[in-house]
Amino acid sequence: MRIVLVLANLPRLCLESAEKEPNKELGAVKLKFNDLRQFNDNLLIETDLCIVGSGPAGLSIAKEFVGTNVQVWIVESGGLEEEPDTQALYNIESIGVPRVMQQEIIRSRIFGGSSHVWTGRCAPFDPLDFQSRPWIPNSGWPIDREQLDPYLERAGINLGLGPHCYDQRLWELFKVSRPEPLLDENLLKPAFWQFSKSAKDPAEPTRFGHHFMPEHAPNINVLLHANVTHLNTNETGTCLESIEVSTLEHKRGSIKAKAIILCCGGIENARLLLASNRILPNGVGNPHDTVGRFLMDHPGCVIGGFDPQRSTKVRSRFGQYWLDNQQGRHVYLQGVALSPTIQAQEGLLNCAAFLEEYSAPDDPWTALRRLKTALKKQPPHSSPTVDQAMFWRQPTASATSGLPPSPYRDVLAVLSHPQIPLQGLYRRFVKHRPALPKAERIDLYCLVEQLPDPSSRITLSETKDALGMPISKINWQMSDREMQTVRRLSQVMGQEFKRLGLPQPILANWLNDKENWQSNFIDRAHPIGTTRISENPQQGVVNSNCQVHGVEGLFIAGSSVFPTTGHANPTLMIVAMSIRLADWLKINCFHQQGGAA
């Protein structure tokens, strides 16, 4: 027996499904949650817009349609809490440069997606990143940064960010003097990031599953535990007709919609296109063998460090800053990046570095926070998800062999270092800067853009998951250009810091290695580029409106459409591009009024 959900009877059938399993609430979010496990087999849903994936891309698009007459179904593989069996569907086979194999610590199949495991660091790509650079083969976007600025503004609202400003204008907004002497901007330029904050808990970044969607969203429906297993096209592969979904228990259904958007991430978007190969042997949208190619990330590495006893000047200049406005306090971080000038002159990639600090076990500020929590009889404030998301941090000696905290040791730490709290209070109330904790170690951490390489790619493994789908075979490649860029950044920083009278970084020995240097890099779980934008179907998978070339009704959102990576963390760009796609769909597919941009 086939159950059909069509627009006319959605409210009634959603109510019926709620009787089988009460409609769930996630914090203040009141959406119509449905569970595929609670329906009979062979369910058919017919709707206007289907969004596959409920992470930052998917929910940002859905939010733009709240209150319209467009009926939206969000399809999510997981539920409202993490489930090991569902997480196991992320398993990968890695045959290239090693990647993090514990996918469960960096990706989440859960309502809200992988926003459950991120630190909130945000920055837009640089204008140079959008340009076709002669020294970077396969570079260039069909849009430019100026066109994206209005969407970046709107994305900042979704992410709880401060002003859309990442340049020298920030000094006035910080209410501090611009640090002098100035950097030689032919070599290095200041780089700024700011941190997302949740409207519910400013200590946490925006978790898209929590308190993100408006409370009243009558036209938005969520289907949980629905894993997309195949994209069904017509016989010529030129029109998407439906998608197939399945639970882990193999209860199946299908969804038909006027427009379907894949928002599954840089790995899964490509995997799903490739695995949908019943009609087209190479998969959907892949006549030129472009799907899965140009896999990039942000290779991260420690290129040096500073002596904690002699690093106050560099920590103060390149540490955190505060910006206070009507929305509260926004936290920024300053680092440095290679200038566009030196990138062009020397054929380098975009690259940035920042300080990664590790507090000492007897840091008075950390001790004071613990004592305050104990006095108020509150549970210790910790964020396992943020700790999990900082998987690249290397443990310190005290973290592996030190004694656990205790009130006695915390009091002793405060009494033993009275100057540190006093200096911190001066910085807070006079300098309008956060305190500098006592540090055990200070690393100089680097993120580098990758060369777009078609041989760096995702294909399908012979190994199958619990649904019978092939898992992703990942052949991630790095080029000598990444190493050349990182080495040059470290050299320039040493020269500039000496000229500025700052402590020079103690550079890592491996920077001089000619072999095995790749082992010092780690992927940052930012898979990018596998369904890249290009107006030329032979060079990309989607056009400038993120529609899959030659496949009517199929769109892709997320970092997989980025043709280059820049050095910036991708979430802000993902949300901005998603809002841009939502605006295009409103006008061109659903004849709605466009967005605020």
Q: How large is the average pLDDT for residues 37-47? A: 95
**Whole-number pLDDT of residue 10:** 38
**Whole-number pLDDT of residue 18:** 34
Residue with the bigger pLDDT between 388 and 537: it is: 537
Per-residue pLDDT at 306 exceeds 90: yes
**Whole-number pLDDT of residue 593:** 66
Could you read off the pLDDT of 456-470 as tens digits, one per residue? 999 999 999 999 999
Domain positions in the chain = 4-117+206-296+526-588
- In this prediction the pTM is 0.92
User: In terms of Cα–Cα distance, which of 514, 540, 504 is closest to 310?
Assistant: 504
Q: How large is the average pLDDT for residues 20-44? A: 71
**Whole-number pLDDT of residue 388:** 66
Could you read off the pLDDT of 410-419 as tens digits, one per residue? 778 778 888 8
CA-CA distance, 144 to 269, in Å (whole number)? Answer: 24
CA-CA distance, 193 to 121, in Å (whole number)? Answer: 6
Confidence of residue 400 (pLDDT cuts 50, 70, 90): low
The helix (run of H) or strand (run of E) holding residue 474 is: strand 470-475
Residues in the chain: 597
CA-CA distance, 220 to 62, in Å (whole number)? Answer: 7
Rg, Å, the chain Cα set = 25
Could you read off the pLDDT of 6-31 as tens digits, one per residue? 443 333 333 333 333 434 444 434 57
Q: Token pair of 483, please?
A: 């190493």
Quote the mean pLDDT of the chain.
89
Could you read off the pLDDT of 95-112 as tens digits, one per residue? 999 988 788 778 899 999
**CB distance 113 to 60 below 8 Å:** no
CATH of domain 4-117+206-296+526-588: 3.50.50.60
**Whole-number pLDDT of residue 19:** 33
Could you read off the pLDDT of 73-85 as tens digits, one per residue? 999 999 999 999 9
Could you read off the pLDDT of 54-67 as tens digits, one per residue? 999 999 999 999 99
